[in-house]
Structure formats: C-alpha cells, structure tokens
Structure 1
Amino acid sequence: MPDRPDRPDRPAILLDLDGTLTDSVYQHALAWRKALELGGIQLSVWRIHRRIGMSGGLLAESLARETGHELTDKEAAKMKQVHARLFAAQMGDVRLLPGAKELMRHLTKLKVPWAVATSGALASARPLLELIALPPSIPLITRDDVQHAKPDPDLWLAAAARLGVAPESAVAVGDSVWDLLAARRARALGVGLLTGGYGQEELERAGAYRVYEDPADLLLHIDELGIRAS
C-alpha cells in the first residue's frame, strides 16, 4: 500500500500538565476550597476535586451554582487570582509523577511530536513548567492562548495545530473526565491516567481508549499507542 502523506507513521502526543505530569491535583483542590471560602462559598474538597481540570472561571462558576450563588465576572476573576496565590504557596509540596521525565525524554528521543496543553493560565502554570523542565522547543498551550479551556476542545486543537498535525492523528493524554471529553470533541484519541483521582470506568466512559496508572505505566505500554522505537 502506498504511503499516505496525511497519515503520519506515529501519532503526535498531547499531554495535560496538572495531574498528568505533576502530582498537583489535590493542592489545586485545597487552594480552590480556601478561595471559595474567602468568597463566602462553603464546599467539601471532594466536590471541588470533581471539577479540577476545568478552566478556573468555569470551575468557580459551576461550584458556586451548586450552593445557589451566581458569581459576577469580577468575583470569578478575584477567586481565580486568590486560587493562583494559594496554589503557588503549596508548590513546595508538588512533585513530578513517576515516569513523567522519562516519558518526555523518550518522546523526544524517538522524535515523536509532542506538546503540553493546560487549562491553567501561564502565570499559574509557570512553576510547574520549571518543575518538569519543559524544553523550550516543545509547544506549550495555556488558557491564555484559547477562547475556552477544557472541557471545550480548544486546547487540544491548538496543540495539534502548533505541531502541524491533524487532531485525528494525535493522542491526548489526561487525568480527568474533562480532558477526555475535550479530546473526544477534538476528535483526538483519548488516553487516561489514574493520577487525577478518577476511576478507570469514569475515564473510559468519558472516552478513554486506554487507561494507565501514571506516566511510568504509560511509558511501559507506549507501543499500544502505535509508538515504536523503530
């Protein structure tokens, strides 16, 4: 069969950041709880955790509605600022997830096109980017670059475009149902990780083709995604 120029021999990999490369989901949940409390909204951490992975504004608005609050744009923006400050104060407790650096190095070694796409703004994501030591040659898409963050497909679509590949030729890796819903809407192949606190069945229902424990487990089985050493 002749080569198809529109079908690369290996997929591009689009990686989420929080909960996918860094063990930071629960720090975000705690920071949001405090930010919401300061805004007069009392919610349990488990409810907040279920929204981590959404854009900050959408998260704050959806959680506020659960308690009967209607946030103004100014109030939502203030909560996002407070959350960013509280999260930054916890950066000393954030670690890389097992296999994160090895996965990134492996993709680079094999010359697999890859990018990072996060629902966070660049200002709040910068400490995490320093932690993972993202190479300057790797495309980074943040909330600042798109009109809507996850669960809308904009971040994955922008990451694929930055790599010059069709979304259908990309694998989007994330740890939340919002990552996978966005991948489905972008028509990318979704892969889930258990590192965000969602169960395998939840991730599969949201569209995950495969679910792995963490980046190390994904790297161990990366051939299942059509990525081979030769």
Structure 2
Amino acid sequence: MTTDLAYPEPPAPAFLFDLDGTLIDSVYQHVIAWRSALAGLGIDLSVWRIHRRIGMSGGLFVTALLRETGLKLDQDQIDDLQRAHAAAYLEQIDSVRPLPGAVELLAELTARGVPWAIATSGYAATARSALGMLGLPEDTLMVTRDRVRRAKPDPDLFLAGASTLGIDPRYAMVVGDSVWDLLAARRAGSLGVGLLSGGYGREELERAGAFRVYADPADMLSRLDELGVRTPL
C-alpha cells in the first residue's frame, strides 16, 4: 500500500543584490576614490590591496588598512578619510554604468513577480545615485550602510534586506561579486550566488560559499531557471 505524501508548497525565490560590482560597474571607481582619499593623508597603498577590500564597509576597510600598514589614525582622521572617499567617488559618478544585463535582470524579476531588494555596504549618499542609472524609482527597496549596525562580512545588511521583503533570510538568495558578500550571506543563512563582474575569481567565490557563479547579470538572467525562477505558465 502506498500513501501520497503532501508536502508544503516551497517558498518563492527572492533575491538580495549587492550593488557595486554586482549591478553597477563601479568597483574601480571606488578603488581610485580610496586611493585618492588615502593619498590626502600621505598614505601610499597599492591598488591591488585596496581592491581586495572593496565590498567591506568603510570602517572595516580602514581597520584592515591600519592592520596591514601598521599606521595609526585617530577617529577624526578616519571620519575625514571616509568623507574624502565619498567625495572622490562622486566626482567619478558620470563614468559609472550598469553592468551588462543588470537593468534587464531586475526588470525580468519584477515582471515575474519575484521579490528583490538591494543591500549595499555603501552609504545612501553614494549608493542611491545608482537608482537612476538602473532605471529604478526612488522608492526601490534598498538597504544601505546607514541603516544597519555593521556591514559585510557581518550579516546585518542581508538580514535587514530580507526583513524589508518580509521573508525569512533562509529563503533568500544573495547575489554579490566579492567574498565579503558571500561570507555575509552564509552568516545570514542565505544561499550565495557569485558574479565575476567585480574582479574576484570563480574559485575564490566558490570557496566563500557561492553555490552558482555567473559572469555578470546578463549571464545570470539567461540561467534564471538554475536558481528556481520559472517562466510563468
């Protein structure tokens, strides 16, 4: 005798997107902005060292910098450094573009009724400038560094993003380009999806917890079925 078992309907997929290097091509503008801000304090740091920390919050970036260089900065200098970075980044904002497929990916998810939000380590002053270039309205769900206690690799941004969508973070997929995104995703209990568009390698992203890795948003869009997003019948 066989019995048909009734299983609950699985929750619909939902996505939490990082911003820089994931939806917009801005990683190297941030690198140059940090280098300019550091130079203003007489600190000469190699570009590759800066790039490896992009995706962290500014505060954690500075902490890592001080540890690696042995330098000491007081709180006023740290605050000045972060303000200088923001100003230097905004000077380059006209050169920032959406990554291939980013606009189309978000539009497709919206059209299919798939919930999504943006969760970024950037502050609102710089991050919200991306909404226009992505063709998104001002009321787009976006969690910025201003709204959480700690940024990546802590899970706070993605926990807040899931709360904004009204979902359990276990049922969200975090899409990011850096190891910091994926470490934060793991700590939030979410699945991680890696993109190569921020400069990290496939193996690095997989080691940090990515269960799928795509070249960029366009590649992810063409393979949404792998992530459980089905074409409506």
Place the TM-score, normalised by the shorter chain, in its bin. Answer: over 0.9
1:13 aligns with 2:15: yes
Classify 1:45/1:22 alpha carbon distance in 2 versus 1 (closer, same or farther; 3 Å): same
Cα deviation, 1:108-162, whole Å, max 9, x if unaligned, reads 0000010000000101112222211323453110001100011100000000011
1:173 counterpart SS class: strand
- The within-5 A match list for 1:61-72 is 61-72=63-74
Query: Which of 62, 82, 85 is equivalent to 1:83?
Result: 85
Following the alignment from structure 1 to structure 2, what is the Cα–Cα distance between the partners of residues 159 and 85?
A: 26
Query: Which of 112, 115, 128 is equivalent to 1:113?
Result: 115
- The within-5 A match list for 1:201-216 is 201-216=203-218
Q: Number of aligned pairs?
A: 228
> What is aligned with 2:52?
50
Letter in 1 for 2:78: A
> What is aligned with 1:60?
62
Letter in 2 for 1:123: A
Letter in 1 for 2:8: R
Classify 1:161/1:222 alpha carbon distance in 2 versus 1 (closer, same or farther; 3 Å): same
Cα deviation, 1:44-83, whole Å, max 9, x if unaligned, reads 0010000000001111221132111122222111111000
> What is aligned with 2:8?
4
1:23 counterpart SS class: coil
Cα deviation, 1:13-44, whole Å, max 9, x if unaligned, reads 11111100000000100110111111222100
> What is aligned with 1:161?
163
Which structure: larger Rg?
Answer: 2
Cα deviation, 1:156-175, whole Å, max 9, x if unaligned, reads 00000110111110000000
> What is aligned with 1:142?
144
Q: Is the 8 A contact 2:21 2:197 kept in 1?
A: yes
1:210 counterpart SS class: strand
Q: Is the 8 A contact 1:41 1:67 kept in 2?
A: no
Following the alignment from structure 2 to structure 1, what is the Cα–Cα distance between the partners of residues 160 and 223?
A: 26
Aligned-residue identity in percent:
59
Q: Which deviates more from structure 2 when the two are superposed, residues 91-100 or residues 126-135?
A: 126-135
> Structure 1 length as normaliser, TM-score?
0.96
> Structure 2 length as normaliser, TM-score?
0.94
Q: Is the 8 A contact 2:131 2:137 kept in 1?
A: no
Q: Is the 8 A contact 2:196 2:213 kept in 1?
A: yes
Q: Is the 8 A contact 1:113 1:163 kept in 2?
A: yes
1:127 aligns with 2:129: yes
> What is aligned with 1:93?
95
